[in-house]
Structure 1
Amino acid sequence: MGVANSRHYWDVLSRVMATLWGEDGRAPGEEVPKKVVTQVIESCLIADDPWDGELQTPLNVLSHMVFNALADAGWLSVRRRGLVDMVTVKPRISMLFTMLNDFARQEPEYIGGQVRSILLNLRSVTEDSTDPSACSAYQTAAKQARQCMAHIVNTGCRVQDLMDSLVELESARDFVHGFFTDFVERVYIADYSELRTRNHPLQYRGQIIEKTYALQDDDASRERLVSWYTEHIGKGDRERGENAYRRDTNQLLRLNNIEDHLARLDEEIKVANQRALALIEYKLRAPKHLDKLISRACIALTDMEEEHPALPGDAGGVHWSPSALAKPRKQAREQVATAVEEVELTDEELAMEWLRRRMIENRKVTPVQLANYVVRMLDGKQRMSSDTLSVTSINDLCCYQRLLLIASRDDAPLTQRRHDPLIQMLRGIRVRFDDDSMTNNDYMTHRRFVVEREEA
């Protein structure tokens, strides 16, 4: 679309196509009134105006201007039906839009699904030998094999081009964002990580090669395929049909060399990762304007004479060679292991350690301990208050305090109580405060709470 603000018009066209002639909308060629199209354009401008206040044109006027620009460019076709202008998208225009849209997105592809589809198409050729139209699956399999190989080869080239553009970015923030957004999410093959596993998506390529050779070596199958190619591709010319069949067969047999292309792709991705890590480390560690300082130093170095005071005297006339600029090697310090000191505990220390562990165990409140305490206190009753709860040990007192804490959570909303880990410790038991009355025992004074069984 060779007009001013072409990117803005493309955004509006993409939304109109997705709304009216998208996957869930009308098919290309179906007509809609012009008023419907302009209303869709208006809604797009209201929701997300690409111009963003650059134009001071009223909305209804702007929508008609955008519509006329799209119609003049040939994207929309207008036909007069009586007194109403009807708008449609021609199938060729829709195909062009789809190709441009797919080219702009460049989303990762799942190689495993393509390889499996190739195998299923070849199987249908042999299994449906009585159906003449089954031979078309052979051509479909060859196209998919060509696309699969092209995608793997092109991915390596795209990795090179993308990394060359990323290293030119000045800030580390832009580089990291571009690396993980453009490289990891968009360039990688979607199932790349599975290509080296036991269940990798290319495990069927051996069966594909085997079936391709079987169809080629079997005279009846080969004649059936050549006849189909002669009729549909060669238009009656057997030589053209055989050439087309041979070309598609070679495309399928190219999958036998896919390991070489994957090895090249692995190398490209390995180099890209190394460059990314090196650049990120450099950007994070290097001070600001270091490149400018180094450039100024190099320029000044060329203007200095050899015996200048600013130059080192023992460099031998070489000041920026790898040997002169390299960091001096440091001898690795020998790591001496520290001897393990054996300490023998006295009987008193062992007794204190045992006592400390007993104290920790007695103060633990697990769901099982809390449930046993509640069951022992209820003793078959439906409910009981905190006034009747007894405390005979440290663990009973800790369980008692835990019930008081659970009662304080009962006033929370139901959505919060459902996921509260304290309340979930007791299944089928509810602990709540009983009005404003108080409980006063030998250990504490607090609001009275009630422990009761919930009805099933």
Structure 2
Amino acid sequence: MLFRHLPDEIFQALSGSNRALIEAVLTDLAEVFYDHAEDPIKDKSTIIESIEDTLHKVDTFSWHEDHKESFDSPKTIHDYALRIYHRLVNTGWLVEEQELYRVSVLMTPQISMLLRSLVEISRHGKRNYGATVLSILSNLEAVAKHPTERGVTLRQSAEASRDFSAHLNQILLGIRSLQRELFASRDPKVIVAGFFDLFVEGILIADYKTIKTSNNPFRFRRQILELTQEFLSDTDTLNKVAQCYVDQQLISLEEAQVMVEKDCRDIIQTFSNIEQRLERIDEYRYRLEKRAADTARYMDNSRPGLANKVAGIISDVAKFEHLPVLKNVFGSRFVGASSAAQPMKRREPPPPRVMTPSEVSADAIKLRDLQRRFHEARQVTVPKMQTYLERQMQADKSKHILDFTIESVEDFVCFDHLRYIGSLGVSAKKLEDSFEIHFTNQYLDVHEFVECREFNVVRRSKASA
């Protein structure tokens, strides 16, 4: 089951009163974790910085206390970022791993797949199937020429066909539900706005206009059907493709043959009845477009409020088992000369208005730069530590802990991590070859700043040579 692989509290963050902020943060974190060119395990500071960047893009936000927590109410961007970060960790979206001084953050595979699916649902848009049909045709031609080497691409063609068929069903069901929703509305603005926002931008296929032209994306349907039917009729090709399935998926030859036949029949079924399904979609599309066009026309040509009055009268008439007979139509003024279209009045041009772009205040930019600078100062890197050691050691061969100076945040971070040079990994090999740390069992208070074990830094001989 689904929740056997997910934490029990996974959806608590998206069900509270702060779900708008959490949703914006998760959408941006998806791009951070989906960067294929970088390590999927991120530093904690990187994640918090990404959350702060998201909050900077949000116009207005406020935190609602869903339940009592051990944190104070957030007052700054950094406080908001920490609160959201802890909420994501507590609900299971993020996982912390600590190795000595470093805290890493990652997503489990199940959570990553869930977030990817949610982001794809929220960003659903129009699809272009011209490239999809061409890729199916190219894969089938490759299988026909090289069934032993390229036979596995038949599986990809079948998956693309099934996905295409499922999307056509989604379009059909989406148009039906949208038509039912808009037809039930009496507000012309809702009808017209819903038509353009929900249908034109969300449901319609991107290359829908080319379906009725000679350059339509389904002009290769005949070649696809012929190639697929040849695979089923040619026993030799079918066996070679099945053998390729056996080698790739490590299954028996009988199972591979059944799988190949099923993939071929799915492709044939998808492209055989595509015309009937597109006709049904076109029929529903026509009804929806006609309703939107009539509504837009009557919004301009009819007397204000007439559409609602007529709709109310029709609703009242529908309550009778037998339609009432009107003896005098002209006596009722809901349809008459006064309801005819009137010429549009001359519209006066709107007065000029000065457009002033909204800008982020200088104080907010300054605060953001200071926060970013502080995060950069806290990051520990081998070049920073090498520069700090060279500046402190100078020409000395050894130096006591109390002789080191701490003049900035970078100096304190580097000084605090001198004790862990041996644990910094391969990147710190150059420091280990140049310097050596000798510890004692005594603890000292260094500059009334930090208390740690006494040690001496000794420059190795090969480094001085």
* TM-score with structure 1 setting the length: 0.60
Secondary structure of 1:186's counterpart equals coil
Change in Cα spacing, 1:324 to 1:203, as seen in structure 2 (3 Å) is farther
Residues 148 and 243, structure 2, Cα contact 8 Å, conserved in 1: no
Secondary structure of 2:120's counterpart equals helix
* Unpaired segments ≥5 residues, structure 2: 1-10, 66-72, 337-465
Residues 137 and 223, structure 2, Cα contact 8 Å, conserved in 1: yes
Matched, 1:278 2:288: no
Change in Cα spacing, 1:191 to 1:169, as seen in structure 2 (3 Å) is same
The match for 2:232 among 216, 239, 245 is 216
- Matched residues in 2 for 1:208 and 1:302: separation? 54
CA root-mean-square deviation: 3.6
The amino acid of 2:304's aligned partner reads: P
State the shift of 1:157 in Å.
Answer: 1.2
Could you say which residue in structure 2 is the equivalent of 1:82?
100
Matched, 1:13 2:26: yes
Change in Cα spacing, 1:128 to 1:283, as seen in structure 2 (3 Å) is same
Secondary structure of 1:163's counterpart equals helix
Matched, 1:250 2:265: yes
Secondary structure of 1:187's counterpart equals coil
Matched, 1:145 2:161: yes
Secondary structure of 2:212's counterpart equals coil
State the shift of 1:187 in Å.
Answer: 0.9
Q: How does 1:165-180 map to 2 (within 5 A)?
A: 165-169=181-185, 171-180=187-196
The amino acid of 2:201's aligned partner reads: E
Residues 140 and 157, structure 2, Cα contact 8 Å, conserved in 1: yes
Change in Cα spacing, 1:53 to 1:231, as seen in structure 2 (3 Å) is closer
- Matched residues in 2 for 1:297 and 1:129: separation? 65
Change in Cα spacing, 1:85 to 1:239, as seen in structure 2 (3 Å) is same
The match for 1:47 among 31, 40, 57 is 57
Matched, 1:287 2:304: yes
Secondary structure of 2:273's counterpart equals helix
State the shift of 1:110 in Å.
Answer: 0.8
The match for 1:71 among 57, 78, 89 is 89
- Matched residues in 2 for 1:153 and 1:232: separation? 31
- Matched residues in 2 for 1:227 and 1:37: separation? 47
The match for 2:325 among 318, 325, 330 is 318
Residues 148 and 240, structure 2, Cα contact 8 Å, conserved in 1: no
- Matched residues in 2 for 1:62 and 1:137: separation? 49
Give CA deviations for 1:347-388 in whole Å, capped at 9, x if unaligned.
xxxxxxxxxxxxxxxxxxxxxxxxxxxxxxxxxxxxxxxxxx
State the shift of 1:113 in Å.
Answer: 0.9
The amino acid of 2:161's aligned partner reads: A
More deviation in 272-281 or 142-151? 272-281
Residues 230 and 242, structure 1, Cα contact 8 Å, conserved in 2: no
* TM-score with structure 2 setting the length: 0.59
- Matched residues in 2 for 1:168 and 1:54: separation? 36
* Unpaired segments ≥5 residues, structure 1: 304-315, 329-456
Residues 231 and 241, structure 1, Cα contact 8 Å, conserved in 2: no
Could you say which residue in structure 2 is the equivalent of 1:26?
38
Matched, 1:261 2:277: yes
- Matched residues in 2 for 1:324 and 1:188: separation? 46
Q: How does 1:156-171 map to 2 (within 5 A)?
A: 156-169=172-185, 171=187
- Matched residues in 1 for 2:93 and 2:28: separation? 13
- Matched residues in 2 for 1:81 and 1:278: separation? 67
- Matched residues in 1 for 2:175 and 2:246: separation? 41
Secondary structure of 2:104's counterpart equals strand
Change in Cα spacing, 1:212 to 1:64, as seen in structure 2 (3 Å) is same
- Matched residues in 2 for 1:301 and 1:141: separation? 52
The match for 2:74 among 40, 51, 57 is 57
The amino acid of 1:76's aligned partner reads: L
Residues 8 and 50, structure 1, Cα contact 8 Å, conserved in 2: no
State the shift of 1:41 in Å.
Answer: 0.9
Could you say which residue in structure 1 is the equivalent of 2:47?
37
Residues 95 and 106, structure 2, Cα contact 8 Å, conserved in 1: yes
- Matched residues in 2 for 1:287 and 1:154: separation? 37
Give CA deviations for 1:141-200 in whole Å, capped at 9, x if unaligned.
001111112222321211111233334555433432322122112211000000110111
- Matched residues in 1 for 2:312 and 2:89: separation? 54
Secondary structure of 2:164's counterpart equals helix
Give CA deviations for 1:422-449 in whole Å, capped at 9, x if unaligned.
xxxxxxxxxxxxxxxxxxxxxxxxxxxx
Could you say which residue in structure 2 is the equivalent of 1:184?
200
Q: How does 1:84-123 map to 2 (within 5 A)?
A: 84-123=102-141
Secondary structure of 1:197's counterpart equals coil
Q: How does 1:433-448 map to 2 (within 5 A)?
A: none
Q: Which has the larger radius of gyration?
A: 1
- Matched residues in 1 for 2:232 and 2:295: separation? 52
State the shift of 1:111 in Å.
Answer: 1.3
State the shift of 1:115 in Å.
Answer: 0.5
Give CA deviations for 1:277-305 in whole Å, capped at 9, x if unaligned.
233334442533863697489879999xx
Residues 152 and 248, structure 2, Cα contact 8 Å, conserved in 1: no
Residues 212 and 249, structure 1, Cα contact 8 Å, conserved in 2: yes
Change in Cα spacing, 1:211 to 1:170, as seen in structure 2 (3 Å) is same
Residues 167 and 279, structure 1, Cα contact 8 Å, conserved in 2: no
Could you say which residue in structure 2 is the equivalent of 1:308?
none
Secondary structure of 2:122's counterpart equals helix
- Matched residues in 2 for 1:80 and 1:146: separation? 44
Residues 148 and 241, structure 2, Cα contact 8 Å, conserved in 1: no
Change in Cα spacing, 1:120 to 1:143, as seen in structure 2 (3 Å) is same
The amino acid of 2:33's aligned partner reads: W
Give CA deviations for 1:200-234 in whole Å, capped at 9, x if unaligned.
1101111111111122222221001222334555x
